[in-house]
Amino acid sequence: MESLTEPRRFLVHPFTIIRRIFGHALFSSLTRRIVFFNLAAIIVLVGGIMYLNQFREGLIDARVESLLTQGEIIAGAISASASVDTNSITIDPQKLLELQAGQSITPVPSDEDLDFPINPERVAPVLRRLISPTRTRARLFDADANLLLDSRHLYSRGQVLRFDLPPVDGESSGLTDWAARTFNSMLQPSNLPVYKEAPGGDGSIYPEVMNALTGVRGAVVRVTEGGELIVSVAVPVQRSRAVLGVLLLSTQAGDIDKIVHAERLAILRVFGVATLVNIVLSLLLSSTIANPLRRLAAAAIRVRRGAKEREEIPDFSARQDEIGNLSIALREMTTALYDRIDAIESFAADVSHELKNPLTSLRSAVETLPLAKNDNSRQRLMDVIQHDVRRLDRLISDISDASRLDAELARSDAKPLDLEILLSSLVDVSRQIRSSKRPVEIDYVIDQKPGARQRFMVNGHDLRLGQIVTNLIENARSFVPDVSGKITVRLSRTRGRCLIQVEDNGPGIQAENIDRIFERFYTDRPEREDFGQNSGLGLSISRQIAEAHGGTLRAENIVDPESGGLRGARFILSLPAENTP
């Protein structure tokens, strides 16, 4: 079994190494998209360069100019080798018989005498000497476009003749050659004429040869059946403006294609290096994007599934980019979520504990009611039952209000509101609510700086902020003395905060209970007030509303500077002021 599993381990090992180096970047959908689009851009760019580059056209133009120059030189040498016999004079005998005494005849050259015939035997060595250093094919045509000489068939003494044998039947070219030909044919212009050999040495099938017979040189680019380029130039061989023949120079099939192919291979090598660099950079870019996103997603999934301990979201805030902002938002959201879960758990435990007390009392009264022996006992039990029912109703109402508080604050939009107008209305309503046992004086004071008109504008929910002030006033009303009770509502402003102070002249708050009074279901009521009249959620809800508005709510005692005793309690609500002109 070991021998069978060893090769498999060897094959898996490289992929394991790659996965460990790049993590899941190679297998990420985001990574594949980044690599694909980056490579697509490079492929389009290289394809455009390969298809539209001017190297091939420039090479063809340069080769045409070179062949024309070479053709002019060779044509000049050929025309110089053409000769006429100037040692003989041709005279018509009939004209001699017609001469009179003392007359003579002047020989007049005929048209045939002006011909400079090209002697192939004299031209061949010159042509062979000029063509042999190059790979150019030269063909010489006479004035009737008949082939006189072909450099393919010019051989000197001692030269070994070589002939290209036809390919062996059934032999197929390699895949690389086929791919190269296919690739070149795709980039080859489709409007080029096909090259054909002149049958029987007839040069009239070549348009450039026929044009050269009129004294105009020309060039034509053709393509073979195999897709190889051939450049041909025709130069007239002239002497004394008489066209003796035409010199046709042609490149070997594939010469230009080899140069162009080499240039394309160089471009492809550059493309390969650029592709490799692009892939590596894309993977690095993806690792800086996909890996953090994957870690954030995995942490969010773990939070959704629930964990025994608080799950920590990865911190990428140092990146100062969108992923860093996303990390900060997820961390804050997760922290708020866990705080909300803890608050719900704590709230549920407190609610359960507070509901058990009246339920236990109610259950005891209901169980004792059948055992009551007289009407007086039954009436007392009925009073206990009614008291516990009212207490339960009050608890349930306050619990419902507390549980809906966050949702209501989140759903409704905060609006600018003037605390001066809001407190004036609340104080007027509180003054109209008079207790039958304890008349209370409520004062409303606005602290304004001398010579300045300040505005007390905040951004918030008027009903909830009014609930805080109402709770504080009613809480103070419970603790003021029966005679000469006084509550002062004071509004002031600091640099960036609006302060609302609710003061009373009651007994004050014990030092150890100043923070506990804001706990849920905590009650420390005066002895004269019946038990169960308050649920203990008023101050807790008030602080919760204040914190939801970005403010604070705290309590302190008012100390008499002369005697050092307590003169009452003060609750201070601080809210961020809205910047107004």
DSSP conformation letters of 323-388:
HHHHHHHHHHHHHHHHHHHHHHHHHHHHHHHHHHHHHHHHHHHHHHGGG--SHHHHHHHHHHHHHH
What is the pLDDT at residue 7? 45
Q: Return the closest-CA partner of residue 419 out of 501, 475, 488, 539.
A: 501
**Which of the listed ranges 38-52, 123-137, 488-502 does the model predict with the highest average pLDDT?**
488-502
User: Is 354's pLDDT higher than 60?
Assistant: yes
Most confident listed range (31-35, 72-76, 512-516) = 72-76
| Res 301: pLDDT | 84
Q: Which of 118-122, 209-213, 390-394, 437-441 has the highest mean pLDDT?
A: 209-213
Residue 482 has pLDDT above 80, yes or no: no
Query: What confidence tens digit (pLDDT) does each residue in 96-106 have?
Result: 566 665 555 55
Mean pLDDT of 394-419: 73
Q: Three-state DSSP class for 444?
A: strand
Model pLDDT, residue 80: 78
**Residue 1: is its pLDDT beyond 50?**
no
Find out whether 192 and 57 touch, Cβ atoms under 8 Å.
no
**CA 151 to CA 128: how far, in whole Å?**
7
φ, ψ dihedrals at 144, nearest 5° = -100, 15
Q: How many CB atoms lie within 10 A of CB 15?
A: 10
Structure tokens at 320: 């100062």
**Residue 33 reports pLDDT greater than 80:** no
Residue with the larger pLDDT of the pair 89 and 275: 275
* pLDDT higher than threshold 60 for residue 534: no
Which of 569 and 565 is assigned the larger pLDDT?
A: 569
Average pLDDT over residues 101-127: 62
pLDDT of residue 159: 47
Q: Please report, in angstroms and rounded to a whole number, the separation of the first and last CA atoms in the chain.
A: 85
Is residue 456 predicted with pLDDT exceeding 90?
no
| For residues 332-349, average pLDDT | 78
Q: How far apart are CA 461 and CA 408, in angstroms?
A: 10
Alpha carbon 178 to chain centroid distance? 40
pLDDT digits (tens, 9 = 90+) for 67-77: 888 888 888 88
pLDDT band at 6 (very low <50, low <70, confident <90, very high): very low
**Taking residues 532-555, what's their average pLDDT?**
78
Contact 140, 153 (CB under 8 A): no
With cut-offs at 50, 70 and 90, classify the pLDDT of residue 10: very low
pLDDT for the residue 573: 92
- Predicted local distance difference test score (pLDDT) of residue 500: 92
Tell me how far CA of residue 201 lies from CA of 117, 144, 243, 251, 424, in angstroms. 19, 11, 19, 18, 119
* pLDDT at residue 578, rounded to an integer: 82
Q: What is the pLDDT of residue 121?
A: 79
If you average pLDDT over every residue of the chain, what do you get?
A: 75
Residue 37's pLDDT is what? 79
- What is the pLDDT, as a whole number, of residue 218? 87
Positive/negative CA dihedral, 550, 556, 559, 564: negative
Structure confidence at residue 165 (pLDDT): 54
pLDDT in tens, 152-192: 877 554 444 454 555 554 444 566 666 666 656 665 666 77
Q: Is the pTM of this model over 0.75?
A: no
Contact residues for 385 (Cβ-Cβ < 8 A; gap 6+): 362, 365, 366, 369
Q: Flag whether pLDDT at 574 surpasses 90.
A: yes
Percent of the chain with pLDDT over 70: 72
Lowest mean pLDDT of 34-38, 295-299, 428-432, 457-461, name the range.
Answer: 34-38
Measured in residues, the chain has a length of: 581
pLDDT at 491 over 70: yes
pLDDT confidence tier of residue 499, bands split at 50, 70 and 90: very high
Dihedral through CA 270, CA 274, CA 277, CA 281, nearest 10?
A: 170
Tokens (6 digits) for 25: 């970047």
Q: What is the pLDDT of residue 405?
A: 67
